[in-house]
Structure 1
Amino acid sequence: MTQVTLEGFPERVRIVDVGPRDGLQAWPEPVPTDVKIAMINGLIAAGVPQLEVTSFVAPRAVPNMADAAEVMAAIDRSRGAELTALVPNARGAARAIGAKVDAMVVFLSASESHNQANVNCARDTSLAAAREIARMGQEAGVAVYGAIATAFGCPFEGNVPVSDILHVAKAYADCGITKISLGDTTGMATPRLVQERCRALAADLPQADIALHFHNTRGVGLACAYAGLQEGITRFEASVAGIGGCPFAPGATGNICTEDLVYLLHESGVETGIDLEALIGVAQRTETALGQKLPGQVMKAGPRLRAYGRDAVRSSRGDAA
């Protein structure tokens, strides 16, 4: 039987796995470089088309990203996956360009207070840094994307006005950055807010290619992704096994899980080009390597139609009276 896409959904979406960066940046223990490389290469082999593999930030601020250049040098690039890295400033951008990233991701928060907590500077200062990084990227022939943190709410200020999202997005567009992700830094997004912000950006900045990045803090991450699909969004960021969380935001928990999102998409008739069984294997190996139970669900239960032998489970046998 031919699978039919749900009405109004895009036929295909692009998944960006941010687990190697967002998933591991705040991990409470040092993560060995070889674990990161195995995770990244496994994701690429499973067909993930784009990965945020590391962050070129000060090692003292985010120790688990100190091996950024070493990780980049060891990745299997033969399959053509797009490798991006987060960069906070010109120094980080220079390191990222030297490591031959495919694209750099600049970031700032829609709320002033979270920007101060996250990168220790004013939002306008971060915008100035983004403009400089965009210039460096253009000169080096490296693409630059823009991320907007706290796009659905701030842990310090509460609701973030749509006008603040538009202000940052337009500032990005003014310096040539049109691939923009809306980050749900502490899981404050709801389907209603997703609809509101996607429609506002589509109306005021139609040239922008919007991605959505959700955390599952309050259990509605996939519902928010579903709402994004209904708005025609075709790029989603997620993290293998559901690991992640901003180290500078109170209450932040893991990202929505890549394999859970891929399962939802495939069951809705939306193509991703990803081998779900292979992706589950990466999630399970990552859980073993990190030594902690991770929140992914499909990695535990498997795909809906995975068949089991009758002898795989205990049977309930009643004795006749």
Structure 2
Amino acid sequence: MMNWPDKIVICEVGPRDGLQNEKSLFTVQQKVDLIEKTVQAGAKIIEIGSFVHPKAIPQMADTDEVAKKMKRVDGVEYRALVMNVRGLERAEAAGISKAKLTVSASRAHSMSNSKRTPEEVVQGFAKCAAYAANHGIVLSGAISTAFGYPVEGRIPLEQIYSVIAAFREIGVHELSLSDTTGMANPQQVYEYGRMVKEKFPDVSWFLHFHNTRGMGLANVVSGMLAGIDRYDACFAGLGGCPFAPGASGNIATEDVIHMCHEMGIHTDYDLDAMISIGRSVQNMIGHDTDSSILRAGKCSDITCS
């Protein structure tokens, strides 16, 4: 007997992880409209952008303005990505009280990017943790390339454990396992999900999948069977994988909602509203995206003649 959850939580990451991969730059007002419409459609957690150096990610250069201009709704968590204390200071000034730190589980990737091991990168976040604690900011962590990296292949669970332990040492107890490269498979997701929940019961877990090789929704199903009920997803399936040029991006929010609703699993989202948002996003970027529901429609749209 499979134990399906009655409900899952879907964090909308489109305003950050989706838009940052698009060549076209969205205006502040366009971003604000997308955030507000997504919240109206049912999002209870939304990643509004990142507070990083504008030269590093030009698409996120105006996150400060977006955060100040958007209307907040009680009960909704507005979070943003930061890389250092300066990013936390900007987040605080913009009224954002939830920030996410990210580190690669891949040692090869981490050493290539920063000349530091994943554990050393997390230890370097200690100043961020101290600042957050003193300024009422809640931190979460994202462990990218958690399931695989092209140079290394599958990332061993023991390596993931080590990064998790490093995060816990600086006081971060909400973490996501992120399939940045789209290399995760359902069996691996089930195994990793069960094991991290068992070994670190004090950690709240998210899973973050890309649909690079068409296994995104299958991985969500495996994650649910492993007992994890919180997922990141992106409107219209925007995004990409820097290690697989031309690959599709994040799992599409509307696809996850549709699957769950067909299975009788609640999400708090209005599916039709999210489909409308996805179509408007496609119109704004001027190209199709990897969203099955935007391409084929809902099951309930099918009529038998």
Match of 1:112 in 2: 107
Please state whether the residue corresponding to 1:305 is helix, strand or coil.
helix
- 26-35 or 237-246, which deviates more: 26-35
For residue 277 of structure 1, report the CA deviation from its aligned partner. 0.5
1:167-182 → structure 2 map (5 Å cutoff) = 167-182=162-177
1:129-140 → structure 2 map (5 Å cutoff) = 129-140=124-135
Distance 1:309 1:69 in 2: 50
1:200-239 → structure 2 map (5 Å cutoff) = 200-239=195-234
Deviations 1:107-162 (A, max 9, x none): 10001222245566542442123222222111111110010000000122212111
Please state whether the residue corresponding to 2:256 is helix, strand or coil.
helix
Amino acid at match of 2:163: V
Match of 2:256 among 256, 261, 273: 261
Match of 1:128 in 2: 123
Structure 1 contact 56–85 (Cα < 8 Å) conserved: yes
* Residues paired across the two proteins, number: 304
Please state whether the residue corresponding to 2:300 is helix, strand or coil.
coil
Distance 1:43 1:284 in 2: 13
Match of 2:193 in 1: 198
Distance 1:78 1:202, change over 3 A: closer
Match of 2:42 in 1: 47
- C-alpha root-mean-square deviation of aligned residues, in Å? 1.9
Match of 2:62 among 56, 60, 67: 67
Deviations 1:251-292 (A, max 9, x none): 453000000001111111111111001111111111111111
Structure 1 contact 210–233 (Cα < 8 Å) conserved: yes
Match of 2:284 in 1: 289
Amino acid at match of 2:251: I
**Structure 2 segments unaligned to the other structure (5+ residues):** none
Match of 2:20 in 1: 25
Instruction: Select the structure of larger CA radius of gyration.
Output: 1
Q: Percent identity?
A: 37
Match of 2:6 among 11, 15, 23: 11
Please state whether the residue corresponding to 2:141 is helix, strand or coil.
strand
For residue 198 of structure 1, report the CA deviation from its aligned partner. 1.1
In the superposition, the TM-score normalised over structure 1's length comes to 0.89
Amino acid at match of 2:248: T
For residue 204 of structure 1, report the CA deviation from its aligned partner. 1.5
Amino acid at match of 2:141: G
Match of 1:313 in 2: none
Structure 1 contact 84–104 (Cα < 8 Å) conserved: yes
Match of 1:88 in 2: 83
Deviations 1:212-252 (A, max 9, x none): 000000001000000001111110001110001254x3445
Match of 2:148 in 1: 153
Distance 1:192 1:308, change over 3 A: closer
Match of 1:317 in 2: none
Deviations 1:35-83 (A, max 9, x none): 2222111111101111111011111111101111011112221353211
**Structure 1 segments unaligned to the other structure (5+ residues):** 1-5, 311-321
